[in-house]
Amino acid sequence: MLNVKSIFTKITENIDITFWISLLYLLFVGFTAIYSASFNNDNLTKFVSTQGAALGIGVIGMIFFAGFNYQHYKHFYKFIYIFSCLLLVSVLIFGMEIKGTKGWFKFPFFSFQPVEVTKIMLILVLSAYIDINWRYIKKLSVFIKTLLITFGHFALIMLQPDFSSTLSYFPVTLVLLYVAGAKLTHIFSVVLYGSLAVSIPLLTTFFKLQPELLETNKVLSFFVNATSQWQNAAIILGSVILIIVLVKWFLNKLRIPIGWTYPVLFLCIIIAGSFSSIVVNKSLKEYQRKRLIVFLKPEIDARASGYNIIQSKIALGSGEFSGKGFLKGTQTQLGFLPEQRTDFIFSVIGEEGGYLFAQMTILFYFLFVWRALVVARQARDRFGSLIATGIAVMFAFYGIINIGMVMGLMPVTGLPLLMVSYGGSSMVSSMFAIGILISIHIRRFY
């Protein structure tokens, strides 16, 4: 164990200017936007001070995790996994329900969302498992076991249910498998399976919101009806089989021999994905499906599920180049922009700070992710590289999903913009993650 003094010198020796400037910018912009978004609230400083307290706890945790040698995680990754699962189970039992999600522990002065911490634990566990089994990573069994680790968390979180928090799990898991050298076929199969299972019910919901379109477009209505009428589904399945056989025959004619393994695998995935879509359809409520897909065309449900996106786009767009000025954003101050402290904080920045600050936010967010990836590249061992990659990808996808959402490019999922959005648990866990990154960084030479 290193003493405190040497930790301090290590940190100062290893200061990464870009990384810290990015982090400070994001924190600064976040606190400013939270202040602005709560300006009309009776308790003006409540949110800023809560966030400040969370940052304080986070920084203490960060220093602790920076000092702690990350390599130790590998030795007790199983305990971490069991502990994280226990956390998720106990929140199901003792947790408090907010907006229909049972995901918070309530304490006298604060509440705490365990999923924010378990997402980092999962990265540690996955990295450890992949690092230990990296020689067999191309084996299907290892691949599936890795997926199962993620699925355990996923299933527990879906019981709360908190769909949006699980969103970053898939890219993180797949990217970790990818950089560790898993078979591309496996990864591709999972991606295809997942996108089929999710997109079929969502697209059906989307088209059902536009009955006039279905009336004029017969082909489209045939596909939409396939979700409820087995005849249509059978015709589509039959034609898919026909196309696969034809393509294989054609490729053979071109003297590109393809065994039967891939076509059959492909077909199985399509069928499995289609059937899983029924499960997805059942597990998501109508309004959730609408909310997830309406971003493609928010006008079709402008007063309900599309309202948030429309208001967010108005807020962002109306900021123009230089913004409306601090505390002068009409969308924010008059309350047209929903969830402005949390999910739509980026719109507040865009409205009051304009393109200038919004683009800077994207830029610094990316620089932050880039520096985290650099930490992964410079790490001392594979385990460190995997952890850093996982954390970098997690930050990246939170940012992409959130910023994409407020600009109407992605579904409205309710993921915060890490380090910017209001929210104690996510702030604390972000700081922890940064602490782990520092821990990997400062130990790169030893």
Q: Is 328 in the site for another protein (CB under 8 A)?
A: no
Instruction: Kindly tell me which of 238 and 335 has the beta carbon lying closer to another protein.
Output: 335
DSSP state letter for 415? -
Q: Is 31 in the site for another protein (CB under 8 A)?
A: no
Burial of 350 (0-12, 13-18, 19+ CB in 10 A): buried
- Contact segment (CB under 8 A) with another protein among 25-33, 75-83, 106-114, 395-403 equals 395-403
Nearest distance, CB of residue 79 and another protein, angstroms: 24
Nearest distance, CB of residue 392 and another protein, angstroms: 8
Contact set for another protein, span 39-58 (CB under 8 A): none
Binding residue for another protein (CB under 8 A) from 160, 389, 413, 426?
389
Kindly calculate the radius of gyration of the chain based on its CA atoms and give it in whole angstroms.
24
Instruction: Kindly tell me which of 21 and 53 has the beta carbon lying closer to another protein.
Output: 21
**Site pattern 304..323 for another protein (x: CB under 8 A):** x--x-----xxxxxxxxx--
* C-alpha neighbours within 13 Å on the C-beta side of residue 422: 21
Instruction: Kindly tell me which of 284 and 315 has the beta carbon lying closer to another protein.
Output: 315
Q: Is 37 in the site for another protein (CB under 8 A)?
A: no
Nearest distance, CB of residue 10 and another protein, angstroms: 18
Instruction: Kindly tell me which of 248 and 444 has the beta carbon lying closer to another protein.
Output: 444
Nearest distance, CB of residue 423 and another protein, angstroms: 21
Instruction: Kindly tell me which of 113 and 331 has the beta carbon lying closer to another protein.
Output: 331
Q: Is 14 in the site for another protein (CB under 8 A)?
A: no
Contacts with 130 (C-beta within 8 Å, 6 or more apart), sequence order: 137, 146, 176, 177, 180, 386
147, amino acid identity: L
Burial of 210 (0-12, 13-18, 19+ CB in 10 A): middle
Residues 403 and 172: their CA atoms lie apart, in Å, by: 18
Q: Is 403 in the site for another protein (CB under 8 A)?
A: yes
Contact set for another protein, span 206-225 (CB under 8 A): none
Instruction: Kindly tell me which of 135 and 253 has the beta carbon lying closer to another protein.
Output: 135
Nearest distance, CB of residue 123 and another protein, angstroms: 15
**Site pattern 353..382 for another protein (x: CB under 8 A):** -xx--xx--xx-xx--xx--x--xxxxxxx
SS (H, E, C) 28-84: HHHHHHHHHHCCCCCCCCHHHHHHHHHHHHHHHHHHHHHHCCHHHHHHHHHHHHHHH
Q: How many CB atoms lie within 10 A of CB 209?
A: 19
Nearest distance, CB of residue 321 and another protein, angstroms: 6
Nearest distance, CB of residue 434 and another protein, angstroms: 18
Instruction: Kindly tell me which of 229 and 359 has the beta carbon lying closer to another protein.
Output: 359
Q: Is 393 in the site for another protein (CB under 8 A)?
A: yes
Contact (CB, 8 A) for 365 and 22? yes
Q: Is 419 in the site for another protein (CB under 8 A)?
A: no
Binding residue for another protein (CB under 8 A) from 23, 149, 400, 427?
400
Nearest to 224 by CA among 236, 241, 238: 236
Q: Is 126 in the site for another protein (CB under 8 A)?
A: no
32, amino acid identity: T
Query: What's phi and psi for 102, nearest 5 deg?
Result: -95, 80
Contacts with 99 (C-beta within 8 Å, 6 or more apart), sequence order: none
Q: Is 172 in the site for another protein (CB under 8 A)?
A: no
Nearest distance, CB of residue 218 and another protein, angstroms: 32
Instruction: Kindly tell me which of 233 and 362 has the beta carbon lying closer to another protein.
Output: 362
Contacts with 318 (C-beta within 8 Å, 6 or more apart), sequence order: 324, 330, 331, 351
Contacts with 282 (C-beta within 8 Å, 6 or more apart), sequence order: none
Contact set for another protein, span 266-305 (CB under 8 A): 303-304
Residues 54 and 113: their CA atoms lie apart, in Å, by: 13
Instruction: Kindly tell me which of 284 and 407 has the beta carbon lying closer to another protein.
Output: 407
Nearest distance, CB of residue 134 and another protein, angstroms: 8
84, amino acid identity: S
Contact (CB, 8 A) for 335 and 327? no
Contacts with 251 (C-beta within 8 Å, 6 or more apart), sequence order: 257, 258
Q: How many CB atoms lie within 10 A of CB 360?
A: 15
Strands laid side by side in the 101-106 sheet: 96-98, 101-106, 111-112
Can you give the binding site for another protein, defined by CB under 8 A? 175, 178-181, 303-304, 307, 313-321, 330-331, 334-336, 350, 354-355, 358-359, 362-363, 365-366, 369-370, 373, 376-382, 385, 389, 393, 396, 399-400, 403-404, 407, 409, 444
